[in-house]
Amino acid sequence: MQAQWRTFALAWLIILLGSLLAHSVQTSGDIRIQDLRFAGANGKVLSAYLYIPPGVDAQHPAPGILAIHGYINSREVQSGFAIEFARRGYVVLAMDQAGHGHSDAPAFADGFGGPAGLAYLRSLDIVDKDNIGLEGHSMGGWAVLAAATAYPDGYRAMVLEGSSVGANRSAPGTPEWPRNIAVVFSQFDEFASSMWQVPRGTDVGNSGNLKALFGTTETVIPGQLYGDIPRRTARVLYSPPVTHPGDHLSRTAIGHALEWFGQTLEGGKPLAADRQIWMWKELGTLIALAGFVLLLCGSVRLLLSTPAFAALNASVTSTAWQARSWRWWALLALAALIPVADFYPLMRWGGQLLGASAWFPQTITSQVALWAIVNGLLLTLLGRLPLGGGQVAFTHRVLPSLLLACSTVAIGYGAVLLADFLFQIDFRIWFVGIRPLSLTQLQILPVYLLPFTLFFLLGLRALHGGLSVAGDSALSQYAGNILALAGGFAAFLLLQYGNLFVRGYLLTPAEPLNTIVMIQFVPLLSIVAIISTYTYRRTASYLPGALINALFVSWYIVAGQATQYPV
């Protein structure tokens, strides 16, 4: 095999192996998965995966569970819960909330899509309508609470994962409503204050809101049963030792949901709660994600070997620094820390200035876009500081670079589409996932592509023009660029979560959502650094890598965010 084909072929092999592993886990025991679209309120279309255990049909209905993810997530994030529910004989409807994934916008509307999801689940002749459970994480908890309000006799039990009742999100909880409820609220949940009005997740048992739900004036004791299951007034609090998004990767949190539905729903299979296999699916999608990154790099190498893009091939002939000095390290530190230092204020200002509108339909994407524009300009100014670095000579071939970027990302997108169609998976680890765009998201993409393109043009020019060192090995180049782009975020998050695990608080307790959003920056910017460095080493230009990353990151962010304004 010619050298230019090796990386490309290896990437496809890795993607295939990861996809097969993930698919085999989520369909283990002959579970079937259907990709559905169904009618929501006001003519909206909602999407879901339907997990059907073997032997279930209209003559042999099974208990059902409606599983709903949280804010700025998608149905795939709930796969750990859905896989384990289905293995225990439950029909599972894991749906995209309104305005998320492939469900029509706007987000937050019509009970977050929860009532329509429950109505659809109850309409299936394969579901035992007397044994339906509701499970929702974070904002997905409010979706299932909305479903319970709309259909008070339409379910039998509920699990709130990292979520809460009342506080203008649902009706206040009482000892009778909702029916048979388990509250799974983690010890290190970042949203303790907003969810249950307590300073730390470990203090949730002292929440007045929770006490009202449990019908007690005393501290609610984790693991203790309150109320009565046959009367459907049972309550229990579970406190797994993880964070808010950590519920999705927690055997303990998932196990609590399995235990509760095992006690409150009839007709499931008696499989122990600790017998879980979902983590192998996470490993499969992680392997596929690594293959995807390698595929983008392999596509660049393969395309550069063709006559159409041969003119882009060039060797790097100049660097900014002859050797690393304290000035180089000072520049690296500033480049890594400035985007972190301005992250929270720019995210707040982006929400205030842009919000959600017909022009900018996704709130968080708009916030990140403002952060990107400002930091692209700041990194450009930083690169002009007189710290002793030299000028780097770049080659610039705009049209071939643009065509190379479009071709590379199109190949990567094709891989994602194939995995979605053949295996019902995306490429992900945890809540960092690369998934297909919906038609609405495809319409939104060009609006956000402009600011992200500006960021990568400015930022990657500053990176390669300001931090390149003569004689560096390939490993040193990759490591240095990853450190520059993602190192500041990684260091700050270590401090944030170190404080959370030791003291029970974030360093910025008023910023739980943006802190969780920041977690994605570490893997995402590491991927950006890898793609940009790989491309720069072969073209002596920041331009192809900047355009590839602009297309890829815009796609990733738009596909993964909530759409608050209908398009």
CA distance 547 to 84: 41
| DSSP-assigned states of every residue in 498-538 | HHHHHHSS-SSTT-HHHHHHHHTHHHHHHHHHHHHHHHHHH
Check pLDDT > 60 for residue 132. yes
Please give the share of the chain, as a percent, with pLDDT higher than 90.
89
pLDDT of residue 170: 87
386 pLDDT band (50/70/90 cuts)? low
- Specify which of 205-209, 358-362, 461-465 reaches the highest per-range mean pLDDT: 205-209
The top-level CATH class assigned to 54-269 is: alpha beta
Phi/psi of residue 26, nearest 5 degrees: -75, -10
274 pLDDT band (50/70/90 cuts)? very high
| Mean predicted confidence (pLDDT) in 116-136 | 98
- Reported as a single tens digit per residue, the pLDDT across 175-200 is 999 999 999 999 999 999 999 999 99
pLDDT of residue 1: 56
pTM higher than 0.85: yes
Check pLDDT > 70 for residue 387. no
Q: Which of 414, 418, 411, 426 is nearest to 288 (CA)?
A: 426
pLDDT of residue 391: 78
Q: Is 357 exposed, middle or buried (0-12, 13-18, 19+ CB in 10 A)?
A: exposed
Which residue type sits at 2? Q
Q: Mean pLDDT in the chain?
A: 95
According to DSSP, the β-strands at 45-52 and 91-95 are antiparallel
The residue extents of the domains of the chain are 54-269, 315-560
| Mean predicted confidence (pLDDT) in 313-317 | 90
